[in-house]
Amino acid sequence: MTKQQHGAAGSAGSEPPRRVTLRDVAQAAGVSHQTVSRAINDKGEIDPETRRRVLDAARELRYRPSRFARGLVRPDTITVGLIVQDVVNPFYPELMAGVIEAAENKGWQVVVGSTQNDRDNELALVRSLGRQVDALIGFLDHSDAELAPYVEGVPLVVMDRHQKTSHGVVDIDIETGVRHGIQHLVERGHQKIGMIDCLREDGQSEDGLERRDCFLAVVEELGLPVDQTWIVAGTESVAGGEAGFAELRSKHPDVSAVFAYNDVVAIGAHRAARRLGLDVPKDCAVLGFDGLSIGELLDPPLTTVHIDKRRMGELAIDQVDGLLNGTPVEHALLPTELVVRGST
Amino acid sequence: MTKQQHGAAGSAGSEPPRRVTLRDVAQAAGVSHQTVSRAINDKGEIDPETRRRVLDAARELRYRPSRFARGLVRPDTITVGLIVQDVVNPFYPELMAGVIEAAENKGWQVVVGSTQNDRDNELALVRSLGRQVDALIGFLDHSDAELAPYVEGVPLVVMDRHQKTSHGVVDIDIETGVRHGIQHLVERGHQKIGMIDCLREDGQSEDGLERRDCFLAVVEELGLPVDQTWIVAGTESVAGGEAGFAELRSKHPDVSAVFAYNDVVAIGAHRAARRLGLDVPKDCAVLGFDGLSIGELLDPPLTTVHIDKRRMGELAIDQVDGLLNGTPVEHALLPTELVVRGST
DNA sequence: TTGTATGCGTTATCAG
DNA sequence: CTGATAACGCATACAA
């Protein structure tokens, strides 16, 4: 048994293939490790000839600088974690684009995690991701209190969170959005408006700022007949929207407009309506929320309360920036805008 | 001017707020930094009382372990970079989901970068991201040779790359997909088939494996009248598809079916057709490529050559795994499947 | 149970 | 132009 494979590519040894370091390159090139550092980092003070020799040796040995060692000495690269519920939910890509772009502009990096709508997964992610980044941005389903043990001091920005929180916040002005949406329906002559809501696993809607609560508040505010205002709830998906619409319509055939929890659900409602042979919007209007661009693909295209998701991502990065610099940042509140297309 | 703010939160000092380290916590708790390490990492050998005291001090000082120092000592957390052209392009989210999920299953992390379809940006990203990760997965527009100076030895997996390459590869079996698609059109009685292609900034389609080349090859193979086979090209977008369809249709009003570069473009063609008052598929059939789920939203829904993008992401992680472990991995080839919906 | 010493791979400082 | 030497913050034997 040989004492040491002497660094060769010998795959026989049970030794974990130790990392190639500056010193290895130095030895190979017959210089000090410091000189190698100079060559690698393109510092001026070095003989071109030496430089070339070192670089050759480095390539030969397949040397790669350790990001850890580098980060330790020069902690400049900032990494922020982004936790979403489901990358495939069309709400998120645009938001991610905003986050990523804003981050890249600052020279930051973004690592993305997905909870898959699994609450336990969410907690695990907050902890594990949080340990590997300088700050966290998250669409989180847990309360501050529940989150606390997992946060471990990471600067955190919670998205779309209406409850009081000690973290950074980018909130959405849902209330105004809903008001404009419902007002619009009323102006179109609708009085009997139903809502297709989405179930939360733990329905702890403490404050009145969720879509559903806003809806009820606005309905009352506008003096609509509350006894003719119905709410059903399903999963947050196209299928959920379809089921919700069917349920609503079967219980209350005279409903003339539905407000959906969001565009994905609205798309389901839209399809269900068409499938039942209804004319949208004449027989039943459909109003969405989020302003997804895929809403335009429907026929008729979906009227919706639009959110600038890209902007939302930028604001999140702003919040992170504030948290990281100790600059006190106010919670951001994102406005909404009614986009009337064809479905109402 | 005070000499030193003595570490307090005083924001007046010009000193860069030095990081809180283990030793700071140790001092505050009156123990050695080693004991702090034990407490933080939940090692057994420690007095519960001491532990609590240390943890309190840590929280008090807002101590956060340095991921760099940790990574240096125990390099276990693997991070892979994922470079896409544009997060908002609906092709990518599903793929990202695959990559992220597969990565999370291994306890790996994924940092996402977006080139915004900018070739320079791509090169910059390959370099900067590459330096911060253990491996790179990328939808890249540059050739191996162009990439070489920027790769700097990072294990790289190129996606949807048909040319020979020294890197890991996840390729798509476009040829078979196109054949099945066109065959299907022929079976439906179409003879005059146009294609809406997409421009590449540098049109160096060296081999015959791009969609366009496959299309031409298949057309010839099936003995279709080549002089009645037309190709137009536009941008890779819905608008590009609309423009492409209009151009194609105006030049050759008798085209009875169009094959689009991908679903996004197909959606544009679909809309343009409807807008021109054409019946899809009777007056003109539309065939897409990619199998995006939003194709189902169209009316009639889009027939398309489907790619399992999630699977594609998993395969990419497999390739990375191989590269990282030195296991020689074969290039992966992803099959395609014709999904006939309503538009043909 | 706790403290001391050492090394991880790099960059920065300061001699030579 | 180049080479020692000292951090950076943490974890891990080893000694107490």
ω into A300 cis (within 30 of 0): yes
The per-residue pLDDT for B243 is 97
- Pair B265, B196: CB distance under 8 Å: yes
Question: Domain A174-307 belongs to what topology?
Answer: Rossmann fold (3.40.50)
Q: What average pLDDT does the structure give for chain B?
A: 90
In this prediction, residue B204 has a pLDDT band, given cuts at 50, 70 and 90, of low
Taking the CB of residue B145, how many other CB atoms lie within 10 A of it? 7
Mean pLDDT, residues A287-292: 98
Q: Please report the DSSP string for A256-293 in residue order.
A: -EEEESSHHHHHHHHHHHHHTTPPTTTT-EEEEEE--G
The residue behind tokens 């980060």 is A71
For A59, nearest residue in chain B (alpha carbons) = B153
**What predicted TM-score, i.e. pTM, was given to this entire model?**
0.91
Domain ranges of chain B: 174-307
> CA B50 to CA B44: how far, in whole Å?
12
The residue behind tokens 């890197």 is B167
Cβ–Cβ below 8 Å for A97 and B113:
no
Which residue type, as a one-letter code, is found at position B8?
Answer: A
Which residues, in sequence order, are bridge partners of residue A170? A159, A332
Q: Give A190→chain B minimum CA distance, Å.
A: 26
Chain A residues with CB under 8 Å of B298 CB are 297
The per-residue pLDDT for B207 is 55
β-strand A135-138 against A336-339: which pairing, if any?
unpaired
Q: pLDDT tens across A209-257, in order?
A: 689 999 999 999 999 987 777 899 999 999 999 999 999 999 999 999 9
Q: pLDDT tens across B292-340, in order?
A: 999 999 999 999 999 999 999 999 999 999 999 888 889 999 999 999 9
In this prediction, residue A4 has a pLDDT band, given cuts at 50, 70 and 90, of very low
Higher pLDDT, B199 or A176: A176
> CA A331 to CA A90: how far, in whole Å?
25
How many C-alpha atoms does B157 have within 13 Å on its Cβ side? 33
Tokens coding B161: 């790359």
Which residues, in sequence order, are bridge partners of residue B112? B82
- Pair B313, B98: CB distance under 8 Å: yes
The per-residue pLDDT for B208 is 56
% residues pLDDT > 70 (chain B): 92
Tokens coding A341: 């297309």
Q: Pick from A83, A92, A99, A111 the residue to mutate for testing the B interface (most B CBs within 10 Å).
A: A111
B272 CA to D15 C1' in angstroms comes to 80
Closest to A303 (Cα-Cα) out of A295, A315, A314: A295
Taking the CB of residue B321, how many other CB atoms lie within 10 A of it? 20
β-strand A257-260 against A230-234: which pairing, if any?
unpaired
Which residues, in sequence order, are bridge partners of residue A259? A195, A287
Footprint of strand C on the protein (CB under 7 A): A 18-19, 21-23, 33-34, 37, 40-41, 63-66, 68-70, 72-74; B 30-35, 38, 44-47, 49-51, 69, 72-73
Cβ–Cβ below 8 Å for B97 and A111:
no
What single DSSP character describes residue B253? T
Closest to B66 (Cα-Cα) out of A70, A132, A125, A326: A132
Q: Give B233→chain A minimum CA distance, Å.
A: 22
- Pair B171, B333: CB distance under 8 Å: yes
The residue behind tokens 């370099």 is B127
ω into B155 cis (within 30 of 0): no
Of A7-16, A183-192, A206-215, B16-25, the range with the lowest mean pLDDT is: A7-16
For B310, nearest residue in chain A (alpha carbons) = A88
> CA B168 to CA B110: how far, in whole Å?
17
In this prediction, residue B47 has a pLDDT band, given cuts at 50, 70 and 90, of confident
